[in-house]
Amino acid sequence: MEVFKELYLDKNSPQPLYMQLADQIKRLIEENKIQRGFKLPPVRRLAELLDVNNTTVANAYRFLESHGYVRTKIGSGTYVADLAKKDDDIMDQIKLLDRGQLVMAPGTINFASATPSPELFPVEDFKTIINEVLDRDGGIAFSYQESKGFRPLRESISEFLLLYGIKAKPEDIQVISGGQQGIDILSKAMLNYGDYVFVESPTYNGAIAAFKSRGANIVGIPLRKNGIDLEILEANLKNKRPAFIYVMPGFQNPTGYCYSDENKLRLLDIANKYDIYILEDDYLNDLAYSGEDIKPIKSYDDNGRVIYLKSFSKIFMPGLRLAFLALPEKINSEVIAAKHITDISTVGLTQRAFDLFLRKGLWKKNLEYIKKIYSNQMSYVCKKLESIKGIQFEKPSGGLYIWIGLPEGYSSVKLYAMCLKRGVLIAPGNIFYPNYEEDNHFRLSFAALSYQEIDRGIDILSDAIGELMENRTEEKIMPLI
């Protein structure tokens, strides 16, 4: 305990107390003043000693744990970890990132998140609409809704879908609490333990997690720049029949690639031929900066082959937790059952407000506004990235992600660790594969960042890449005998 008496927390500092504490314990570990296996004081005792809340100490310990400095043994306490093993622990940290549990130091520049910046939310319009709903519906707005969704909203969605060339009756629309819930309830409704699901490789990590939670066998089909590799898909279909194939044809996550129309049509033909469903995740089609219309596969679907999932998180307000499914009739009732088991219904007030938002056309106005902002940001980031030597990327024509390649043999996991040490978070390529397969790519998003943060973040990224390359060159020269 002696060594902890030296710690000093400044309650007037802008740096949160838990971070001050984490920094100081980190220093004790790095300077070897406390060594591997050393048991940290219990939370309550250290809190008393430093005259702070228990939460401050608990948060500092959590932060240190998520960065590999300490290990918590349940029922025993918190111990200094083996720093020599810290590099191996990067994977544990990446898994925390993947599960949305990484504790970030304040001030970290987060290129891993595509959460839209709150300044872009149409708060004033929404305020007016919420009041209108409350004046109109009173307490009914807070009662349980039909599990399928508020009927007038399903009608306005059905109308709205005509703009995308999709004909879906209100009965075929299922309102859901976010796109992630859509993937989850479809997994509940359609997957049994051991069933196959085909995905693009790489693919959205949240979908991998949902499919894994049902015990599915996930088969990755390589993604090319113009869409999924149809030859490899067909070869796999010869001996495996998946419950569905999960795809993102517009500005795919993580690559930003778009399917060609030909690829979409051929994929649909293949799905018809082998009698499988396509789960089409449209989370970003609307963010096409060059003005082109991205036609969903669903708009070509005459046979009830495509389950269409549309989220409003990236193009509206993620905290509303609002999305919908346009379903083939055959699976309608299984999906309502899964939705009912999950949360009975999506929040009624949100559904009613969003219904008015669509009906009044405010949706379009907001979309045009955010498109302009994101399009400028995308150009700005890509321009800056061009100055970094050794990386490869193509500027996407829309969306929020840039997929960046390091030269063959370089690890994006190493780069992730180097960037994090410098206060920059990137998404390493391996989280987009079912078994965290190594990939020399990483994903960058800019949606949550200011121009200043982008400038600073890319400078830091550039330094880290420079250092990665230098180290690697030495490694390469040595074994060439």
Chain residues in the site for ligand PLP (CB under 6 A): 114, 178-180, 204, 206, 248, 253, 281, 283, 311, 313, 318, 323
| Nearest to ligand PLP of 89, 355 (CB atom) | 355
| CA atoms lying within 13 Å on the CB side of residue 310 | 22
Helix axes 362-385, 451-477, angle to 10 degrees: 40
Name the minimum Å distance from CB 178 to ligand PLP. Answer: 3
| Nearest to ligand PLP of 318, 396 (CB atom) | 318
Q: What is the C-alpha radius of gyration for the chain, rounded to an integer number of angstroms?
A: 25
List, in sequence order, every beta strand (DSSP E) within 161-226.
173-176, 196-201, 217-224
Distance of CA 301 to the CA centre of its chain: 28
| Nearest to ligand PLP of 235, 341 (CB atom) | 341
Q: Which one, of 295, 229, 299, lies nearest residue 266 by Cα?
A: 229
User: Does residue 107 contact residue 423 with C-beta atoms inside 8 Å?
Assistant: yes
| Nearest to ligand PLP of 71, 264 (CB atom) | 264
Name the minimum Å distance from CB 79 to ligand PLP. Answer: 35
Contacts of range 13-19, beta carbons closer than 8 Å, 24 or more positions apart: 15/106, 16/106, 17/52, 17/56, 18/55, 18/56, 18/57, 18/59, 18/60, 18/63, 19/60, 19/63, 19/105, 19/106
Name the minimum Å distance from CB 460 to ligand PLP. Answer: 24
| Nearest to ligand PLP of 52, 114 (CB atom) | 114
User: Does residue 403 contact residue 393 with C-beta atoms inside 8 Å?
Assistant: yes
| Nearest to ligand PLP of 43, 309 (CB atom) | 309
Token pair listed for 324: 């919908």
Residue with tokens 């991205």: 294
Residues paired with residue 201 on neighbouring β-strands, in sequence order: 222
| Nearest to ligand PLP of 180, 411 (CB atom) | 180
Q: Which one, of 152, 203, 210, 146, lies nearest residue 178 by Cα?
A: 210
Name the minimum Å distance from CB 176 to ligand PLP. Answer: 8
DSSP SS3 for 78: strand
Name the minimum Å distance from CB 203 to ligand PLP. Answer: 8
Name the minimum Å distance from CB 101 to ligand PLP. Answer: 16
Residues paired with residue 217 on neighbouring β-strands, in sequence order: 196
- Stretch (H or E) spanning 41: none
365 φ, ψ to 5°?
A: -60, -45
| Nearest to ligand PLP of 63, 324 (CB atom) | 324
Name the minimum Å distance from CB 108 to ligand PLP. Answer: 19
| Nearest to ligand PLP of 236, 253 (CB atom) | 253
Name the minimum Å distance from CB 331 to ligand PLP. Answer: 19
Token pair listed for 56: 């401050």
Name the minimum Å distance from CB 114 to ligand PLP. Answer: 6
Alpha-helical (H) ranges within 194-285 are: 205-213, 230-237, 261-274
| Nearest to ligand PLP of 61, 316 (CB atom) | 316
Name the minimum Å distance from CB 400 to ligand PLP. Answer: 9
| Nearest to ligand PLP of 68, 256 (CB atom) | 256
Name the minimum Å distance from CB 257 to ligand PLP. Answer: 13
User: Does residue 50 contact residue 61 with C-beta atoms inside 8 Å?
Assistant: no
DSSP SS3 for 88: helix
Q: What angle do CA 226, 276, 240 make, to 5 degrees?
A: 90
